[in-house]
Amino acid sequence: MAYVINQEKCDKDDNCLEACPVEAIEKKEDGSLYVKVDECTDCGACEAACNVAAIYRSE
Ligand code: SF4
């Protein structure tokens, strides 16, 4: 399992990127943000840091 960023809700700020303790969130050239599933430890820090509730845990 890993956390997922809903691209339609995401406002592309860097809150989640800065909150992730293992640098598992990457920013693409167009500014969009993605969780690297192989590196995510499921800590939930990014979900808590998101102002627009764009991050959720996938089953
Ligand atoms: S759940 Fe934790 S480890 Fe995974 S992307 Fe979010 S902040 Fe990083």
Kindly state if the Cβ of 58 falls inside 6 Å of ligand 1: no
Cα 54 from Cα 58, distance rounded (Å): 12
| CATH number of the domain bearing residue 48 | 3.30.70.20
pLDDT tens digits, the chain, 59 residues: what are they? 799 999 999 999 999 999 999 999 999 999 999 999 999 999 999 999 999 999 999 97
The Cα–Cα gap between 38 and 59 comes to 15
Interatomic CA distance for residues 44 and 57, integer angstroms: 8
The Å distance, Cα 2 to ligand 1 centre, comes to 8
**Range of 38's domain?**
3-57
Domain tally for the chain? 1
pLDDT at residue number 22: 98
**Angle at the Cα of 22 from the Cα atoms of 54 and 52, rounded to 5 degrees:** 15
Residue 40 CA from chain centroid, whole number:
9
Full-model pTM = 0.91
55 CA: nearest ligand 1 atom = 6
